[in-house]
A and B are shown apart, each in its own frame.
Chain A
Amino acid sequence: MSGTIATLPLRVALAGNPNTGKTTLFNTLCGLRAKTSNYPGTTTAIRVGAAAHGADSRLEVIDLPGLYDLAGNTPESTVAAKVLDSPVNPCDVVVVVIDACNLARNLVLTAELLAQRRRVVVALNMMDVARARGITLDVDALSAQLHTPVVPIVARRREGLDALRRAIEQAAYTEPMVPAGLPADATNLDALMSWADQVAARVIEASPTPARADVLTEHIDRYVTHPIHGLVVFILVMCGLFWTLFTLASVPMNIIEALFGQLGTTISNVLPAGPVRDLLAQGIIGGLSGTVVFLPQIMLLFFLISLLEDSGYLARAAFVMDGRLARFGLPGQAFVPLLTAHACAIPGIMSARLIPNWRDRLVTILVAPFMSCSARLPVYVLLISLLFPDPKWAAVAFAGCYALGGMAGLLTARLFGSTALKGTARPMVLELPPYRLPSMMNAVLAAKDQGLAFLRTAGTVIMAICIVMWWLSSYPRVAPPAEAETLRAQAAAMPAGDAQSQVQQQADLIEAKAAQAGSFVGRFGHLAQPVFAPLGFDWQLTVGIATSFLAREVFVSTMSVLEGGSGATDVDEGVVSRIRGMTRADGTALFTTSTAAAALVFFVLAMQCLPTLAVTRRETGSIKYAAIQLAYMSVLAYCVATLVHYGLTTAGFP
């Protein structure tokens, strides 16, 4: 073994309980040179990075998921065991990161690793905090008790890292020893804990009076986990979070949209007209723009979540929401994905990783797209404007849409919990870490990781979906209608000026309408119309539903094009009044009260976002759950919208 170690980088696994500063140590060692990926076949993330070590050698560092012990049958401990014992690439040394303020409990994992005769180095982290709390630790005595090197460090301030690297190298060439007195059955947590208590008692001298920080933490906790005060703090923190998110993210989002817009225009001007130009300018650039635009929101969200998590507040907030969400079979931590999904279901589903229990995480992922995302907003504005010209009632209807989506999500969680995903949300038991100043480095790296993960999906599956949807709504090309040809001939004969361009524009609109109707999606609309007839939809509305699978806001531009207007997605008064005037084939009004209400309810409940399905598939590791999500939401939306249409027409509404 030693012969290979000299030439290959040492493979070092970082293990440790949650909240011990393990991630901070990993980030300090590896910086940006780290990759995050799910362990093959699981949804548990591990990070691998390279750390400089001396002049010409380096360490390969693997950040294992935070875990309390190896005995528990959790996904984290299973993955940790697989990484440590990888037949292809086993770890040379395990660095156990220990919170110096909480030695005894952290020693259990150390004991398990030592009992397995692994080469272990103990990194005693947060020594500064321990000193401030009046805890004195005899590092040499601890090392003697464990028969393994113990290095005091302060990862946040990069203290002790050189000594740690040296200890790792030494340990790699030393035969491991099992400490004397270690319980024979190293899987019995009670025995290990009592051994750890004894070891801790021999090496720690703690001040008998509680530290001021602990007293303060206790006071703050009573307030922030209080059923009423805690809720007020929670609402304030969440308002702050989302305000920051939307305010700050809008700047780069506008820049990205403008850049892609410019790029599309440049390509259109440079390339000759034809299918290649259309594919590049509309399909690829359009598809990229539509997805990459969410990148700032996703990165900023994970940056802010990391700050909240590091500060210690997130664990408290989870308890505030636990009782409220438990009624619906959801865990307290689900509030982050559910609130985030109101911006966009994609980051919402991604943030469900915060939920430790797999069943709870899955239920949250499945119901997250019920939350009214920002892409539904233009559709709500359009349909509510058609239904309620009075702004007061429009506001009530808006709130109603959000409430309907939220309730549908919560009730679905309850339904899944009592049927397919049987079980109630696990009542919460959670460590409440001490309040700390959050680490900027951790937050930046978390944002980078999640941003890259999103881009990997956006750059592959989501872009493919966008291109296919664009192709389906643009092809096959149809010959321009005779009416448009006539108008063009008229325009050609006219003197150049406003009148001529008006006629040309009219010809363009007629052509666009014919192209939309003649495309695959348009033909599908005609074909599928009988299915949507119970909702009061004609072929045009059915086409609108079909095209909105690309992104919901496309519904507005589709309806506008079908009406004979431009393809703008902004809902202004002109668009509303033009769409209000749309008629069916028999000349009657299309958007009657019952049809518009059915369409609105359909949009609140339906799963019309293929990119979200791609993310569901990635986060659940199975296409099955994406299919369930699509089928369940579509069927529910169809049934409720049919009921609404039937109810309103029966009640005498047009």
Chain B
Amino acid sequence: MPVTLAPQTQKLTDLEVGATARMLDAAVDTELRTLLRALGLTDNSTLRVCKRGEPCVVQVRATRIGISGRIAQHITVVRDQDMKIVPDQAVRVVPDSAGSAPLPAAR
């Protein structure tokens, strides 16, 4: 029987340096979202925080991406340790809708 825990969603800006997390959502306009995707920040991609603050630097696969703090604060992630993988090995992330703040509206 698949078990899916409700992981704690966080803002990218809340992660400490060295933390790894999975990309959940980015409440930004389509053009920026496409750019993030193109750079490798696709849904569920694993990222590692290399630097906090302005800019926030993350590593996705082999790409280091600098992200302005104004965007980073709209990116929602799930910490790797908060993830549970369902038995069929497919990664499914279920945000804890009761426990997390609503996402900012897309601009």
Contacts and interface: CB of A to CB of B under 8 A. Distances in A.
Contacts of B38: 68-69, 72, 108, 189
A68 B66 contact: no
A429 B67 contact: yes
B13 to A, nearest CB: 13
A102 interface: yes
A323 B54 contact: yes
Given A319-B55, A323-B54, A429 B34 contact: no
B34 A71 contact: yes
Nearest to A426: B32
A494 B40 CA distance: 87
A429 B35 contact: yes
Contacts of A73: 31, 34
A193 interface: yes
A432 B65 contact: yes
Given A102-B62, A430-B65, A193 B53 contact: no
A102 B59 CA distance: 11
A431 interface: yes
A430 B42 CA distance: 15
B62 A225 contact: no
Interface in A542-559: none
Contacts of A190: 37, 42-43
Nearest to B62: A102
B51 A225 contact: yes
Contact of A222 (B31, B43, B45, B51): B51
A218 B50 contact: yes
A323 B61 CA distance: 27
Nearest to B51: A222
Contact of A221 (B34, B42, B57, B71): B57
A362 interface: no
Contacts of B45: 193
Given A222-B51, A428-B68, A104 B57 contact: no
A519 to B, nearest CB: 53
Nearest to A312: B64
B64 A432 contact: yes
Select the residue from B32, B36, B39 with max chain A CB neighbours within 10 A.
B39
Nearest to A67: B38
Select the residue from B39, B62, B64, B65 with max chain A CB neighbours within 10 A.
B62
A105 B53 contact: no
Contacts of B92: none
B34 A322 contact: no
Contact of B68 (A217, A316, A429): A429
Given A427-B70, A431-B63, A104 B40 contact: yes
Contacts of A71: 34
A101 interface: yes
Given A101-B62, A102-B63, A431-B64, A322 B42 contact: no
Select the residue from A71, A101, A225, A315 with max chain B CB neighbours within 10 A.
A225
A194 interface: yes
Nearest to A103: B62
B15 to A, nearest CB: 15
A422 to B, nearest CB: 13
A476 interface: no
Contacts of B51: 218, 221-222, 225
Contacts of B62: 99, 101-105
Given A101-B62, A430-B66, A189 B53 contact: no
B16 to A, nearest CB: 14
A214 to B, nearest CB: 8
Interface in A292-328: 315-316, 319, 322-323, 326
Interface of A: 68-69, 71-73, 99, 101-105, 108, 189-190, 193-194, 197, 217-218, 221-222, 225, 227, 315-316, 319, 322-323, 326, 426-434
26 contacts: A68-B35, A72-B34, A72-B38, A99-B62, A102-B62, A105-B60, A105-B62, A105-B63, A189-B38, A194-B42, A221-B51, A221-B57, A319-B68, A323-B54, A326-B68, A326-B70, A427-B32, A427-B70, A427-B71, A428-B55, A428-B68, A428-B71, A430-B65, A431-B39, A431-B64, A432-B65
